[in-house]
Structure 1
Amino acid sequence: MTNLLVTGGAGFIGGNFVHYWAQNHPGDTMIVLDCLTYTGNKSTIAGIEQAELVVDDIRHTELVAKLLRERDISTILHFTAESYVDRSITGPDVFIETNILGTNSLLKTARSAWLGAGSGSPH
């Protein structure tokens, strides 16, 4: 059994992954971390018993670290992204905050949680 953290899992691409994984790996569990902005919707993953939705931001490092440790997460699938071109023109800062700073925050948190103990792996 594998425990996955799926960021952006209530969006179109992430949600399709959650459905695929649940169908093909019924023994695994997924924590779906999503802000539920304009691209995410909890109905995308409604009814999937292996998926638990946590509504929050990937930049919330304390929460991400807690999820990685307490839920024994071994795999992160990172689908969180701002992707609408029109929105990038009118509000580019949120793209930098989510796509670059958010990804960097997620990577640093995973490194700290998994490698901080010196094991070299999440387990």
Structure 2
Amino acid sequence: MTLCESQLNSFIDDGCMSQLNSFIYDDCMSQLNSFIDDYCISQLNSFIDDDNMSQLNSFIDDDNMSQLNSFIDDDCMSQLNSFIDDDCMSHLNSFIDDDCMSQLNSFSDDDCMSQLNSFSDDDCMSQLNSLLMMTA
């Protein structure tokens, strides 16, 4: 392996891949985690706290236990399921697809490849030229 090849390999391994990994883990995953924690869970909590519990409390006060059971089974769970399925998951999927992947793709394409191209073109060719000049 020539000096140029080894430098190129170490650049790809060390510089480019470590940046890409830190981008995926640090930036993208932290955004995704905060999105799940802050947005999705807070919506779910407020949904359970505000809407459902107030309905449930007035329901307990006003009606009997058999109606309460059917309320929990039919109404409350179906609302909760549809909320999780429709709203929360669609937001999460669109976040992963649109925001996270587009950032990852643009990072890989723009930053990593431009660095790699400039490294290959500038450093490797200049070394090759100087080597050729020395041997000529």
TM-score by length of 1: 0.30
* Higher radius of gyration, 1 or 2: 2
Structure with bigger helix share is: 2
Q: Which has the higher contact order (CA 8 A, sep 6+)?
A: 2
Structure with bigger strand share is: 1
TM-score by length of 2: 0.27
